[in-house]
Amino acid sequence: MKNPQSFSLANPVVVLLTLILGFAACTQAPPIDEDQFVVEATIAGLQTAILNEQTTCREIVQAYLDRIEAYDQSTGLNAITEINPRALAKADSIDQAISAGEEQGSLFCAPILVKDNFDTHDMVTTGGSIALAGSIPPDDAFMVRRIREEGAIVIAKTNMAEWAFSPRQSVSSSYDTTANAYALDRTPAGSSGGTASGVAASFGVAGLGSDTGNSIRGPSSHLSLAGIRSTIGLTSRDGVVPLSFDRDIAGPMTRTVEDAARIFNVVAGYDPADFYTEAGRDRKEEDYTAFLDTNAVQGKRLGILTSHANPERADSAVYALFEEAAEELRSMGAEVVDFEIEGMRELMSAGNWCNRFRYDMHQYLLSLGEDAPMSDVLETLETGAYGADVERILNVIAEEEPEIIHPAERAEPCPDFADHAGRQALLAAVVGAMDEAGIDAFIFPSWSYPPAPLDNANEEYRGDNSQGLIPAAGLPAITVPMGFTNGNLPAGLQIAGRPFSEGLLFGLAYAYEQGTHHRRPPELFPPLAPDQ
């Protein structure tokens, strides 16, 4: 039996503890300074603040949750699909570990927004489709597992275009429509629009998106973010609801290039669950932040890809920004020249695309085990579990994929990337043209037009330069803010390079970002007042 005297108020230690706890209970902690620790925060900045005891992980996570609660639905932004109910508990465990002197991972207490097509073992993953409503995968996607291992907190999932079909807008049958954080009557593009608008509005410090043809770089461009599509094979797609597995890429979408490199360090690399990563097994750099040099542009020869940077096929204001970007790069010490890829149009149209969504989705649904809501995605045509935007595409897929077999086994085979003669010829042509021109990387506007009106996003879809060349050739490319048109509509500069040149691309993007500081936060989502 415990000694009752040890709990008596006569014990001076107990008296002191009682006074301290009583004072704490009656004293409300001052609200966190959002200007300093939340809005436009960086991973390194919030981690430094925690280690310097200026704030705690719990306070930071709570501040982001407060912003989501205050702004997401009330403004009509609709970037967030589900809040992680365990986010604060994870924050508390990090605070306790720091207090105990335990070593932390490289992303500790980084509140990350994750697109709704990344598997999360503790949260619903719908891929933007009502057909997967309530589906909780048995484990995390590779990238989600990796960021969690490094101490990041998945604070929320984000809305997307249904099945990632649309590069134009982010409308799902599971969670409806996401708007652009800079102009709520404009589209954030697709399909990672929820991540893009959420990160831009500081609902998290950074985010994860996926890109089959446009869906990281397009929304990042429309929301003044940095977003990278890696070389195919350098990053795993395991646990990401597929659109076309031979083109899908997943990766970070961030407010700074440095944060993109920090996350890329964690999510890039070999994964035995994704056989494509065998090709990139020994190609990952030790530390991509080592390439972040403000002088990285100096002495580089950059090519303006004239097929993608044509004033006759661009909004004049966006093209003017691109011309300014080229001059800014020259002022930083780069040689900027025109660049063409001979025979590119013919190579790009030489049968290097095939529908494989039905097959790839079948593989994904098998990974869900016995709890999978269906075994064939085309069951949705019978159940009606789809949105109006995707009905036509589902019917095309039904016609082009009458049975579930690997595309390479069809009567007209469509091999995987490494075995695809047409795509490998395109890749060789790009690298050969770069070698012949002596260029280190090439540039073009990520979109040649501003974000389209939200209520007319399909009809006014134009200017998307991220489709076609980069995904078909399996090349890496990064977009970085290059300014605004019409006062508040973001535009992005895209920088592309040879396979596995991500370090160079991070360096070039960082130097441009730091030399121009084009990004600014959306005015519609300021720091919360203390009483909000």
> Is-contact 439 478, C-beta < 8 A?
no
C-alpha 469/C-alpha 344 separation (Å) is: 8
Cα Dmax for the chain: 90
**Which residue among 173, 215, 224, 466 is the active-site one?**
215
Distance of CA 381 to the CA centre of its chain: 30
- Dihedral pair phi/psi, residue 393, rounded to 5°: -65, -40
User: Catalytic residue at 115?
Assistant: yes
**Which residue among 135, 166, 170, 191 is the active-site one?**
191
**Residue of 107, 185, 124 lying closest to 159 (CA atoms):** 124
Distance of CA 153 to the CA centre of its chain: 15
User: Catalytic residue at 93?
Assistant: no
C-alpha 183/C-alpha 224 separation (Å) is: 12
> Is-contact 207 228, C-beta < 8 A?
no
**Which residue among 115, 157, 284, 300 is the active-site one?**
115
User: Catalytic residue at 224?
Assistant: no
SS3 338: strand
> Is-contact 207 198, C-beta < 8 A?
yes
DSSP-derived secondary structure for 445-513: ESBSSPPPBGGGTTTT---B-SSSHHHHHT--EEEEEEEEETTTEEEEEEEE-STT-HHHHHHHHHHHH
Q: Give the CA dihedral 424, 165, 360, 117, nearest 10 degrees.
A: 110
> Is-contact 117 194, C-beta < 8 A?
no
Distance of CA 269 to the CA centre of its chain: 17
Query: 492 pairs with which residues across the strands?
Result: 481
Strand order in the sheet with 80-83: 80-83, 153-158, 111-115, 206-211, 249-254, 226-229, 477-485, 489-496, 441-445, 301-305, 335-339
Catalytic residues, which ones? 115, 191, 215
